[in-house]
Amino acid sequence: MTPTITAFARSPDGGRGLARDMRVRWALEEVGQPYDVRLVSFSEMKESAHRALHPFGQIPTYEEGDLALFESGAIIFHIAQRHAGLLPEDASARARAIAWMFAALNTVEPPIIEREAARLLERDKSWYEERLPILEDRIRVRLGQLSSRLGDADWLDDAFSAGDLLMVTVLRRLSGADLLAKHPNLTIYVARGEARPAYRRAFDAQLAVFTGKAPAGC
């Protein structure tokens, strides 16, 4: 059964692939699973029909027959469990790859989001200039630790996995920021992820929505 995911009808990122449907598209492309996309506006996301799929009125969602999922991490874990290609067969390697999925979403992404939210929503606050360096220091610490662990390896734990897929999408949110550029190995790691054919297909598909060149139904 072809799954259907939801994505922004008009992503505020201008087609840079920073919204979280990108990681789901990439996962589906990695495993060779075709998918449909239902585009939703900001107001549609808050309506009861969408809230039945996503309690917080957000994207992405994932529908496959009777199954409806929200949370990009859970969706990718589901895809990775059902298809070969995103998690190793060996039980210990699989557990480590899952740990990297959680690390990307629970340890590395939160300080990055905090900084984004501050830059977007708190600029006019009297304490903004004082808070920003604190938030950036938190990111610096995490990137330093991640960079040390990655070293000169291609991927976080031997072969490419859903852990790398999530980590690359999380780090991409810092693209162009000095914070990431200070770590050449992380910059190359992100570029390595972006060079994967499945990533390119996913990126082009979400960009086509923005440029209005997506096929009908997407």
Is 73:86 a contact under the CB 8 Å cutoff? no
Give min distance, CB of 2 to ligand GTB, in A: 21
CA distance 173 to 18: 6
CA distance 22 to 205: 9
Short-list 37, 30, 129, 133, CA closest to 83? 30
Q: Output the six-digit token pair for 36.
A: 């449909």
Q: Output the six-digit token pair for 164.
A: 């790398």
Q: Output the six-digit token pair for 116.
A: 């984004």
Q: Which is nearer to ligand GTB, 19 or 174 (CB)?
A: 19
Q: Which is nearer to ligand GTB, 6 or 88 (CB)?
A: 6
Judged by CB under 6 A, the chain residues 100 through 119 that form the site for ligand GTB are: none
Is 20 near ligand GTB (CB under 6 A)?
Answer: yes
| Binder of ligand GTB out of 5, 27, 37, 59 (CB under 6 A) | 59
Is 58 near ligand GTB (CB under 6 A)?
Answer: yes
Q: Which is nearer to ligand GTB, 119 or 148 (CB)?
A: 119
Q: Which is nearer to ligand GTB, 53 or 97 (CB)?
A: 53
CA distance 142 to 152: 17
DSSP 215: P
> For ligand GTB, what does the binding mask look like between residues 37 and 56, x meaning CB under 6 A?
--------x-----------
| Binder of ligand GTB out of 2, 12, 148, 185 (CB under 6 A) | 12
Is 18 near ligand GTB (CB under 6 A)?
Answer: yes
Query: Which residues partner with 4 through β-bridges?
Result: 36, 63
CA distance 44 to 210: 18
CA distance 63 to 118: 33
Query: Which residues partner with 40 through β-bridges?
Result: 8
Give min distance, CB of 216 to ligand GTB, in A: 24
> For ligand GTB, what does the binding mask look like between residues 63 and 92, x meaning CB under 6 A?
--------xxx-------------------
Binding site for ligand GTB (CB under 6 A): 11-13, 18-20, 45, 57-60, 71-73
